[in-house]
Amino acid sequence: MKTGAKVLIEGLLRQGTKTIFGYPGGVVLPIYDVLYDSPLEHILVRHEQAAAHAADGYARASGRVGVCLATSGPGACNLVTGIATAYMDSIPIVALTGQVPTSLLGNDAFQESDIHGITMPITKHNYLVSRAEDLPQVIAEAFYIASTGRPGPVLIDLPKDVSTGEVPEGIEFPTSVSLRGYQPTVKGHPRQIERAVDLMKRAQRPLLYAGGGVILSGADQELLALAERLGAPVTTTLMGLGAIRGDHPLNLGMLGMHGTAYANYAVTECDLLVAIGARFDDRVTGRIETFAPNAQVIHIDIDPAEIGKNKPVDVPIVGDVRQVLAQILARLPPRGSRTGPWLERVEHWRKTHPLVIRDDDLLHPQYVVRTLSELLDGDGVVVSEVGQNQMWTAQHFCFTKPRSWITSGGLGTMGYGLPASMGACVARPGEQVFLVAGDGSLQMNIQEFGTIAQYRIPVKVVVLNNGFLGMVRQWQELFYEHRYSYTELPQVDFVGIARAYGIDGMVVEERREVRDALRTAIAHEGPFIVDVRVEREENVFPMVPAGAAINEMIGSRQ
């Protein structure tokens, strides 16, 4: 006979799991006892939230399902922020949680929490397993649901008596999964494809608006082919960075609140907007009724619930982005030079309203990001925390390939970056992984320096240290008359903290030191931290609205 815990681990191995990020506790001890002799790599984090973020970073960097494990009660509840982060960005993770024995469910037993109910709104699906013999099917379904259709997190809640329960040695594991009511549409409807192609043929000012769905479906080559076939510029969301090379002539960079001026101008002036794996979120659109006011809209997404949710569309296409774009390309002839005047106009905006940094001797955070981008030259993975550091990286780093950019977009989770960068390192051994952090965000999960040091995870951390909760301070400066209410932070010796864990690092206080410090970090074999004391009241610009105010800006600046 086998125990449920042994069946669980065998099921994970059958799904191709290689690494689990977790933290032990009472009711998951049967699972940890099996892990002791298992070929699975287990990485002991210092907080359960970090386990979920690390599994998330692993999934984003690898394209595979990330796995995290926590005990019942507070352990499971500590996963919630990480699960919600993955849910908002459509990231496939499987979260395993311990639970009190089934006989005690509902009795307020020690460390009992209804994690099944708590996570129902932030998971794609979740399970409360009541019988050990159900585990093979549940595990197979969980991985299938997490990784197919629109990806997302799945939770499996495991009462202790399920982990210790006995099942026959010959129990069978399913080799395939078919679920009634869950059959994601992957191919676009032929009639809608034809309608989209017709609009593309007639458009004079087409614009492609690419989101994280392009990355998730692996559709970067199809996106590039469509852009070049149409002669259409491409703008991306925060989650879509890397879908097209940052230095490609058709790439306008990110759009929206902190996007480039020329991307936002293009959205306002285009006559056809093709939204690809994007969801028209508020940070992109501003006032939705004035977003892309002159355009007919084609919306391609695998999740039918997203189409028309925020923005009315003319041609909805439900399907996997990669397959739908392939269908369109098979029917779309080359456009020739028809869009030449449009591209010239866009290029004029790019030249007259570029993203710039001040050319002086001050230590600007944008300069740090651009220097890092130049030195990495398209290699490795860049992770960010959330806030100004995130926006500066999105604006000034040149991403050249998919899955080279990892950040919390939808939920905007401070403290995400450090554990996510651990997951990315584990997923992509031998590659450079840099975390760009703010001093506020870094302190939210700074205890993970212990995990990094224990496993010698070679994360390189660059702190854009301004002594503020920078993005909040920026809004206080712009809209609350510089009344900095509880946003100033005391100076912290980050290098000293890192060294206490056994991690080396250095402090940078002058612009001339930046390049050599980053070169030192790149060359260092293990983890390393560079604490860069940047200009304290530097702001993220442009803060360009994507709606009505754009029209006024075009009129005044054209």
How far is residue 539 CA from its own chain's centroid? 23
Q: Return the SS3 of 514.
A: helix
Does residue 110 carry a catalytic annotation?
yes
d(CA 232, CA 207): 5
- Beta bridge partners of residue 98, listed in sequence order: 158
The answer to whether 160 is a known catalytic residue is yes
3-state SS class at 94: strand
**Beta bridge pairs of residue 459:** 433
Classify burial at 115, counting beta carbons within 10 Å of its beta carbon; exposed 0-12, middle 13-18, buried 19 or more: buried
> Helix 514-523 vs helix 365-376: angle between axes, to the nearest 10 degrees?
40
Q: Which listed residue (2, 6, 124, 160) is catalytic? A: 160
Task: Given the residues 2, 10, 21, 48, select the one marked as catalytic.
Answer: 48
Which whole-number Å values give the CA distances from 410 to 91, 278, 340, 426, in the listed order?
11, 12, 35, 24
* Cβ neighbours around 404 below 10 Å, total: 24
Our answer to whether residue 311 is catalytic in this structure is no
What SS3 state is found at 55? helix
Residue 168 C-beta-side C-alpha neighbours within 13 Å: 4
Q: Is 506 a catalytic residue?
A: no
Q: What CA–CA distance (Å, rounded) separates 340 from 356?
A: 26
In whole angstroms, what is the distance from residue 133 CA to residue 477 CA? Answer: 59
Residue 352 has which token pair? Answer: 């007259």
The whole-angstrom separation of Cα 325 and Cα 188 is 9
Q: For residue 192, indicate whether it is catalytic.
A: no
The one catalytic residue among 18, 111, 454, 506: 111
Which residues, in sequence order, are CB contacts of 14 under 8 Å at separation 6+? 139, 140, 173
Catalytic residue among 254, 391, 422, 471: 471
Strand partners, 438: 464
Token representation of residue 12: 């994970």
- Closest to 393 (Cα-Cα) out of 406, 377, 378, 412: 406
- Candidate list 1, 41, 110, 543, residue with the active-site label: 110
Q: Which sequence positions are flagged as catalytic? A: 48, 110-111, 160, 471
